A and B are shown apart, each in its own frame.
Chain A
Amino acid sequence: MNTAISRQILALIVAVLVMGLVVSAAVAQPPFASESPAEEETKWFNAERTNVLVVMVLYSGIVIGCIYYARRREMYIRPIAGLEAVNDAIGRATEMGRPMLYVSGLGGISGIATIASMLILGHLAKRAAAYETPIIVPCNDPLVMTAEREIVHQAYIEAGKPDAYEPDNIFYVTSSQFGYTAAVDGIMLRERPAANFFMGTFYAEALILAETGNMTGAIQIAGTDMDTQLPFFITACDYTLMGEELYAAGAYLSRSPLLLAQLKGQDIGKILLTVAIITGVVLATVGVFAVPGLVVTFLSWFKP
């Protein structure tokens, strides 16, 4: 597996180098203003996005570096309370003989939060399969439903319980936001799941779902990157994964060192961002009194 990963990382490095060559070629060209519209149309690099490319390459390099490091040494990963509670939630559902409910939000298949949610579902389903605890997954997008059926099916096979897999437990409800909310509320009130998981992209339905789950007495774990809905989940759920924790969850639950390296990469990225913010604050403060051009130059790097 390590050889395969090395090959993939090598492929990525080659791709990044190709992009680097494109950047070099673009930088060597005269600026946009001096070109005719026809030349501008056929350009091979949008120089206005150089800062995005630099940050992306730098951060990708950090994550890949962490993955390499993880192959040689064990890393300390900070505990995340919401994910530590996943086992308790599964255990509770198993003891009570009740199902678990997994809601992957209203995001489409192309949303990165939905993809992260599906990865979590895979790990969760594997554990649920081991205890033969049913997991109900109502979907509001047929593509997400199709993918989630495959993920859960595979999880049951890996857990050695292919016969326990119930495809009808992962079903399409509707694409209507509140129609979906009403249906999931109905499932919570009728089936009384012992544990509810809300992971992915949520909008106004977040509090309606979480409060209904709270009324049924289920243990609730939520995770979203929608900052407007986080307060509602924090209020109504037992544990909430905020922003980056949603993306870290799949890696965390797998306990695979290579996946856990992502968390370390995220932490280093956050440190660098914090340094950039502090530098910006210092420069902005200095710029009030002297050298205002310094602030403008620094800030221009962070603007699209």
Chain B
Amino acid sequence: MRLQVPIAIGFLAGMFMIVQYFVPHPAFKTAYDALEEWVMIIGAFALVLGLQSLFQTHIDKIRRRREGYSYSFVTLISFAVMFLVGMIYGHRPGTLFDWLFDHVEVPLDATIFSLLAFFIASAAYRTFRARTPEATVLLVTAVIVMLGRVPIGELIHAKLPDLAEWIMVFPTVGAKRGILFGAALGGIATALRILLGIERSHLGGGR
């Protein structure tokens, strides 16, 4: 019973979502909107659990003086400041909350994002070492695409930008579509596995 009820609910909800995709009747639209609202409500409750987990993790880290516990102070203080400022002044444009978001949160995000440039360089260095025939093909293709996308490419050869464009439009798109087809088939099969109750590991049951 502990397994059957969740499987039945999952099956009915899943079948409804499939059927509503094909049925434009307003009754189905209303039911679909209601289900979406349910998900949002459940999400709001889960956020409380998430916050509990956040506090628990960091308070425990501070209490046990684990490595890097000082950062936990920063996290908890930052949370408290943003929470209080948001509650007192609101979060509309021009408020202190908005200012803190734009001048602290956004630059911090941008800093982490900018690391990507350095990581791309190190990853490209490792990948483009022509140690195997496949890596050589990759290296040559990448050089053509990179040169074809910058002005100097046209100076080297007038047809280089066209060749780069051809690589991007035909072989690349072909490979990407192959992956997408496979992913779509896998997604449907996984959904079917869960709907039929064949996969039960997420419910804590044997198969």
The chain A residues found within 8 Å of chain B, CB to CB, are 1, 4-5, 8-9, 11-12, 15, 19, 22-23, 40-46, 49, 52-53, 56, 59-60, 63-64, 67, 110, 112-113, 115-116, 118-119, 122-123, 139, 141-143, 145-147, 150-151, 153-155, 157-158, 168, 171-174, 176-179, 181-182, 186, 190, 204, 207-208, 211, 225, 227, 230, 232, 235-236, 242-248, 250-251, 254, 256, 258-259, 262, 265-266, 269-270, 273
Interchain CB contact under 8 A, B196 and A145:
no
Q: Which residue of chain A has its CB nearest to the CB of B120?
A: A207
* B contact residues around A211 at 8 Å (CB): 119, 122-123
Interchain CB contact under 8 A, B202 and A115:
yes
Interchain CB contact under 8 A, A142 and B25:
no
Given contacts A208-B116, A246-B186, A250-B199, contact A64 B56 (CB under 8 A): no
Interchain CB contact under 8 A, B196 and A9:
yes
Interchain CB contact under 8 A, A172 and B189:
no
* A contact residues around B203 at 8 Å (CB): 154
Which of A53, A115, A143, A155 lies in contact with B43, CB distance below 8 A? A143
Distance A251 CA – B82 CA, assembled complex (angstroms) = 44
Which of A42, A171, A190, A235 lies in contact with B57, CB distance below 8 A? A171
* Residues of chain B in range 20-43 having any CB-CB distance to chain A below 8 Å: 21-26, 39, 42-43
Distance A278 CA – B62 CA, assembled complex (angstroms) = 62
Interchain CB contact under 8 A, B187 and A8:
no
Distance A52 CA – B126 CA, assembled complex (angstroms) = 43
Q: Which residue of chain A has its CB nearest to the CB of B57?
A: A171
Binds A, one of B46-54, B84-92, B146-154, B160-168: B46-54
Interchain CB contact under 8 A, A8 and B7:
yes
Given contacts A235-B126, A250-B199, contact A49 B186 (CB under 8 A): no
The chain B residues found within 8 Å of chain A, CB to CB, are 4, 7, 11, 15, 18-19, 21-26, 39, 42-43, 46-51, 53-54, 56-57, 60, 67-68, 71, 105, 108-109, 112-113, 115-116, 119-120, 122-124, 126-127, 176, 179-183, 185-199, 201-204, 206-207
Interface of B is mostly: helix
* B contact residues around A235 at 8 Å (CB): 123-124, 126-127
Q: Which residue of chain B has its CB nearest to the CB of A182?
A: B112
Which of B49, B109, B120, B188 lies in contact with A56, CB distance below 8 A? B188
Interchain CB contact under 8 A, A242 and B120:
no
Given contacts A142-B47, A207-B119, contact A247 B183 (CB under 8 A): yes
Cβ contacts A to B, 19 pairs, < 8 Å = A1-B207, A5-B197, A42-B25, A43-B25, A60-B188, A116-B186, A142-B47, A142-B50, A145-B49, A154-B204, A172-B54, A178-B112, A179-B109, A204-B113, A227-B179, A242-B179, A250-B190, A262-B189, A266-B189
